[in-house]
Structure 1
Amino acid sequence: MPTKPEILKVTPVSESRLFQVEALDLRFSNGVERRFERLALRGHGAVMVVALDADNNIQLIREYAAGLHDYVLTLPKGLIDAGETPLEAANRELQEEVGFGARQMVLLKNLSSAPNYMGHSMNVILARDLYPSKLEGDEPEPLERVPWPFDNIEELIVRDDFSEGRAIAALYLARHWLSQESETADA
């Protein structure tokens, strides 16, 4: 395994309400020095929830995505607040965004997004045994809840309005976990 480069200096480059860009001056084990830029790691991480109801429907939301300047279908997601575990944050986000809580939650995997440019990560949570429960969220407008049959995820992932890579990965992680659970139960 290669030796990590030495961080010589970290310099803030730019900052907004949500993001901070920083420059990293690095020295690699072969002596080469380079400057990299990255979005600084802030906050406590984030969660994305694959919530399955009793009829085996995924609970999707339709929300405005500023990066695309369009409405998209995606999975409920949000930031982990200080003092929350990923499972607590997932249950809160689920209640805020789709109006359900979950009695059973499993952390499937922590995913990175563009790790060459940022250290942000997303905890993918499988939520089942849903019950009605609504919390007030921070969205600027009501989100549309869109149930989708879990058995039809192949149709979902080719839709133009369902394009977030982390959501697609989350569905495949959930499907894999559920198939392993089923095989174990059948054994």
Structure 2
Amino acid sequence: MAKNKKPKILTVETAAKSKLFTIESLDLEFSNGVKRTYERMRRSGREAVMMVPITENGDLLLVREYAAGTEEYELGFPKGLVDLGETPEDAANRELKEEIGLGGTTFIPLKKVVLAPSYFSSEMTLFLVEGLYPETLEGDEPEPLEVIRWPFNQSDELLSHMDFSEARSIAALMLAQRYLAKNTLSNKTD
């Protein structure tokens, strides 16, 4: 498969700016001579993390949190930004303590994902977290998050649950299912 030559960036200008986002307008010229203008969110320089915490009893821990984009309470896995000087694992542990009142001892990276790469460049590392222990840190959420326990052996039903619709949470769950199935199978054959 031939690799495409990246388009030439002719200009980059700020199209709009808010407290959280800067939208850039890019004038591009593709290798075939076609010129187009694209818009994207400027890189923030910060990564994010999402965790799939699983208890010793085999329960997934999720949070129900208000999402301004959908104007609904959404069910998903704990997540947050990586602070300056933190590793993704450090950020994942901090966010767990802030959002569900538990830390973890084992952080298994499942995959690094990008949301809407045509418009964003932000990366999120998805982790499976085991070895949970009680520890709470104060977070930045405007209200306490509802923690939901969901039996892992019923995780297929979670995939079709009406409130569980965030693509990153769905991807994280499917990757966790695959990881756990593979490692449970290999542990049985060892």
TM-score range, shorter chain: over 0.9
Structure 2 length-normalised TM: 0.95
- Which whole-Å deviations, capped at 9, do the CAs of 1:81-105 have from their partners, x for residues lacking one? 1111111111110110000000000
Read off the aligned partner of 2:84 and give its amino acid letter: A
Structure 1 length-normalised TM: 0.97
Please name the residue that 1:106 is paired with: 108
CA distance in 2, matches of 1:171, 1:94: 16
Give yes or no for the alignment of 1:75 onto 2:102.
no
CA distance in 2, matches of 1:151, 1:13: 48
Quick check: 1:87–1:106 contact (8 Å CA) kept in 2?
Answer: no
Read off the aligned partner of 1:132 and give its amino acid letter: P
Runs of 4+ in 1 over 4 A off after TM superposition: none
Quick check: 2:41–2:119 contact (8 Å CA) kept in 1?
Answer: yes
- Which whole-Å deviations, capped at 9, do the CAs of 1:125-154 have from their partners, x for residues lacking one? 110010001000000000111111111111
Residues 1-187 of structure 1: matches in 2 within 5 Å?
Answer: 1-185=3-187, 186-187=189-190
**Deviation for aligned residue 1:165:** 0.9
Read off the aligned partner of 1:150 and give its amino acid letter: F
- Which whole-Å deviations, capped at 9, do the CAs of 1:48-71 have from their partners, x for residues lacking one? 100001111111001111011111
Which deviates the most, 125-134 or 38-47?
Answer: 38-47
Structure 2's unaligned 5+ residue stretches are none
Q: Alpha carbon RMSD of aligned pairs, Å?
A: 1.0
**Deviation for aligned residue 1:184:** 2.8
Q: How many residues align?
A: 187
Structure 1's unaligned 5+ residue stretches are none
CA distance in 2, matches of 1:9, 1:85: 34
CA distance in 2, matches of 1:182, 1:163: 27
